[in-house]
Structure 1
Amino acid sequence: MLLHDYLRILRRGWWIIAGLAILGAAAGYGLSTLVTPTYAARATVVVSTLGAATPADLQQGNVFAMQRASTYAQLATSAAVLDRVADDLGGDVDVDDLRAQVTAAAREETAIIDVFVNGEDPDVAADVANAVATTLAQEAGQLDAPGAGTSPVQISLIEPAVAPEVAVSPQPRSNTLIGLLLGALVGIVVLVVRNAVDTRIRTLGDLPDTPGLATLTSIPLARTRGGRPGSGTDGRVEAFRTLRANLQFGSQIGGALAVAPVTADSKALSIATELASALGEIGYRVLVLDVDFRAREPRAKGRRHADDAEALGVADVLAGSVGAAEATRPGSSDNVFHLGAGRLVDGSAQLLSTSKMSELLAEAKDAYDHVLIACPPLVERSEASVICTMADSTLVVVQAGATTRSSFLFGLELLAGVRVASASVAVDNVRGIDVTAGRWQSLTTD
């Protein structure tokens, strides 16, 4: 996958990323409110030497003090210091607990030592920090005193600890931000994994890159008002007008156009009828041929009465029992006419692959400006690809959210196997706005 493919995935699933990011932020903030706050108190001491009589002695003393500072910092957490601190504080103070709370570090290239104490009570933390600093000064003096003499080193408390007002943990802002970022990251991973596992086509951008195939438009779900189709400004109507323009621009309309769904999820007759209406509104005479016998077999078989004029259609014309003009009926739109599937009998589907079907198409093209053939599904009925070879061009219809990439590619292989001369594709029932609509490739197949 290329960068633009990942960007398309993120753009399409932005609401998942946003939702998980919000949940992550809420979780981070919620956990922060459940954790007991911890406060950090700091006491600062400085190491110095005594008895410097000359500048050289002072310089040597400063170097010695800086060297000893790191040693005294480690002494702050030793048992010698913490035992005395525990005794001074009284109560049930445990030395091991103190060792877990106390840290000390010498500042780089200085003789200054910071003593830190963490605790749940800010006042207690400050008292412990001051006690450790005071005890450290006493223990350090004894450590460097020669025999019973006076120590040349002195530790002075230069900044006593005060009770902190702000807890060092938890940090609600930081935790909320971390939760937000982690939630967004999880959302991105979910989208990428879902895209890898779910191979259904939802927009034109989901179509596999197929050289030689024109991707014309996406058709949104029909918007209804009170259970009836929307007005002429409905996005679906405009999509068919766009499809009409794209087909005209690509010289793929005129004569016979096979509307071939990849699977049974797409309704070829509905697509052909709506496209016919778009052509009819600009003055073209259009005939819609319904040759999807599979979709009509359960209810059409048995309609064999000659006086049932409404049942006459393609099957009757191919059987020679009626002429095409007699079986054709006006459509619901101006300039649009329909020749239905007709009365089906055993073997009707086989007639679609005969010369009689070619003769019917030739007669229809002479009588109408455009002939739209509603075909059965490509991957389910072999006669679909045969009909596509008889047509001047083919419009492959993909059902958004239902047709998989593998089914789509298999349908194209079937068309390539019968050497279909010209093909394009449209995605039907796209939810929302398809920002990938209008992506073009070359207009003819090899």
Structure 2
Amino acid sequence: MFDFSKDLIILCGPNNTGKTYAAYSIYGIYSLAQNNRRRKPIKGRTLQTFEEDGSISLNIEDFFNEVKKQFIKEYEDSFIKFLPSLFAADDSFFKDSQISIQIEDKDIINDIYTKGFKNQIKLGSNLTIQLEKAPESLICEIITIQEGPQHSVFKSLGAELVYDTLIELFSQSIFNHVYITPAERSAINIFSRELSVRRNAIIDELLELREKKSEIDPLKKVQRYPLPIRDSLAIAEDLGNLQKEKSDFEFLANRLEEYVLKGKIKVSKEGDLQFTPNKGKVKNLNIHLTASIVKSLSNLVFYFRHLAKKGDFIIIDEPELNLHPDNQRIIARFLGEIVNNGFKVMISTHSDYIIRELNNMIMLHSGGDKAKELISKYEYKDYQLLDYNRVGSYLFKTNKNVSLEMSETGFEVSTIDEEINKLNRTSEDIYFSLFD
């Protein structure tokens, strides 16, 4: 079980224990809501009054409690059916899969009132519904409706539109917009064009087989990769258009370029990623000619410069990928800065450097006034420090995961500590046996 009330979630553990499956599944859960792939529950009893009278003062919390159980059940069922597409695997692979979603009601209701909602719902000139926020309730009233034989039809449709709006509000409040950087990101940045050409060839094959009415299913070739990789490929293929968008978090992209990449990322006229090092005569290097660190982090730079929105849920598989220990520590501090700028973050890591640095940031936050001198001495920033109450960590072992204890001194990952201690003992034994 994962607690998504935390702002930083850390997945740890040996290889082949399910961390990537967990990260992909969580991405799928949020993506399901983000792309409206789920089925919608049946209309609640409360809105029958609206359908009959054309107006209602609706207590959102009461309505949510009325539809909550069914909303969750429909979502869980939709996700299980979505798993084969999520992982690009055969249906039989997930025949025994289960999921359980639990929701804290008050957080959802408070979030809806904080974010607000549309003032009007319109269906052309035939139907207009006015929504007004009142203390602890929502007033819904049909203010325009087409007269005539279809009057009752539009009244019923109005109830459905109000219902869909409320369900969408619940969904958006429960499931943040999600973005993932999979461990395959370096290859995606290099080979996205080639993979796109291959996919177009498969589509041509699909059309040809349809004309021949073949029983072969070429769609299985199209969905060869799990959804996180497919979505990352889609972004990589559309950089030219996406760069027209501007994010309020470009300063985070600049931070990565300045302190880690030591250069600037840009998108060429052809829609390809390019890199210009701060020190060097060569400019606008194509991404396949750059260092592995640039290939690994360029998509994150692009995300913060063009796509990021406050409240996004960012999943980073192995943030330490291709990074020297000094840069792993910088990335750990950067994770703290992301969290403190209103993002929710999940990482999967094997890095002792990242874990120890995160623990340093937790201890310095917990230290109060006594920590000020240490913060200055070791060049930390207040906006990097982490409140341990906002951090959750999970240790994966074969076929299970356990929540790790989090305190003002951070957390311990036994599997990593054991290997470090074993290596230290082995090195000491070898040295003193041979050279002392």
The TM-score with structure 1 as length reference comes to: 0.25
The TM-score with structure 2 as length reference comes to: 0.25
